[in-house]
A and B are shown apart, each in its own frame.
Chain A
């Protein structure tokens, strides 16, 4: 028995799939923003004078990094309503992505902050730069430059991870694909096309991140 590949189904549902791509990008961007916020706040909390705050941050990082995202999103999906927070699946997914990406970002950003030597700040002040300039040009920019590859790599991972948000029916590419698949039973055609779409999304992000890097970090360091 032969199976005829039929991509006309995909062609028919192309608009829905392209909207799904936008859904994925939106979900990923919102998740990245939240992850950055959690990452920066986490770095401050991680260096707190209070031991219990430091321990809490470490526990958060270890729990997130050593459990699957699928379990995390299920947990949030059921735990948030019991705290009285009735949120849509898409918002739940953004929170889950933000918490997950945030835990990884804390360690990455902390590495960047630690890469700036104290003597550089002193040298900057000695050269007559004021505090704002020292922070912006001598601390922030080189620190960002140092962590840029791992941070953007993490963001692309987050974008790919967002496909798991289909399990709580958030609006993104994979959930759109699953709906089309259950209507048409053209599983392979749909998933193969969607895989290519994800590949295009991650290549686009990579190209964009590289362009930003060339624009802002294009200066000699030694």
Chain B
């Protein structure tokens, strides 16, 4: 009964940490790519496209991440796509990230002076080039602090994968805690691991924000 928190347990936590980092990285990359499309569509000329994106973003921002996880997790199997749990979880986080990043970048695109688009159009640049060479490089720069801030939200959010049984660092903590009956100690260590991951990013985001505030 008197098991102690040993090296073996710590190594198990670290193996969970590996999945937390991997899940966050994949969701951030995938969500970034889809999110870019969402942001462009959200600011497009076509009203239907814009409305569809308002709806898409609204659904993801208006429902709990945990429910999104459940719906994708059970919904994929339902439409006949048999995927392992980790793939379903990754997909849910990717979709969520695409909505949030899409909305952050939408804000940045709209914050640019209209003259930027007008000048690019006057120069005869086609839509793709206008976005790729003129608008997005500036918008993504403005959005840097919020983008890094969202990465923190995403890393914390991946802990919810524990509830569907995916063994990342929070789930690994639960398992160890059940084995050695030291929940307070174990969850302190788990919290410290997340803190070590998130705090540097938060500080970086705050520094970027201060830098842009000063340059304005």
Contact = CB atoms under 8 A, between A and B. Distances in A.
Contacts of A192: 71, 75
Given A3-B78, A188-B74, A192-B75, A66 B194 contact: yes
A66 B152 contact: yes
Contacts of B66: 163-164, 166, 174
Interface string A75-89: 101110010000000
Contacts of B71: 188, 191-192, 195
Interface in A170-191: 174, 187-188, 191
B47 to A, nearest CB: 21
B163 A167 contact: yes
B160 interface: yes
B191 A160 contact: no
Nearest to A153: B61
A71 B194 contact: yes
Interface stretch (A44-52, A137-145, A197-205): A197-205
B184 A75 contact: yes
A192 to B, nearest CB: 6
A74 interface: yes
A30 to B, nearest CB: 18
A162 to B, nearest CB: 8
Given A68-B194, A70-B170, A71-B173, A163 B67 contact: yes
Contacts of B202: 62, 65-66
B183 A78 contact: yes
A154 interface: no
Given A63-B191, A166-B163, 20 more contacts: A66-B156, A66-B198, A66-B202, A67-B194, A68-B194, A69-B156, A78-B183, A78-B187, A160-B62, A160-B64, A163-B64, A164-B66, A174-B64, A174-B66, A187-B70, A188-B71, A188-B75, A191-B67, A198-B62, A199-B62
Interface of B: 59, 62-68, 70-71, 74-75, 78, 152, 156-157, 159-160, 162-163, 170, 173-174, 183-184, 187-188, 190-191, 194-195, 198-199, 202
Interface of A: 3, 5, 62-63, 65-72, 74-75, 77-79, 82, 156, 160-164, 166-167, 174, 187-188, 191-192, 194-195, 198-199, 202-203, 206
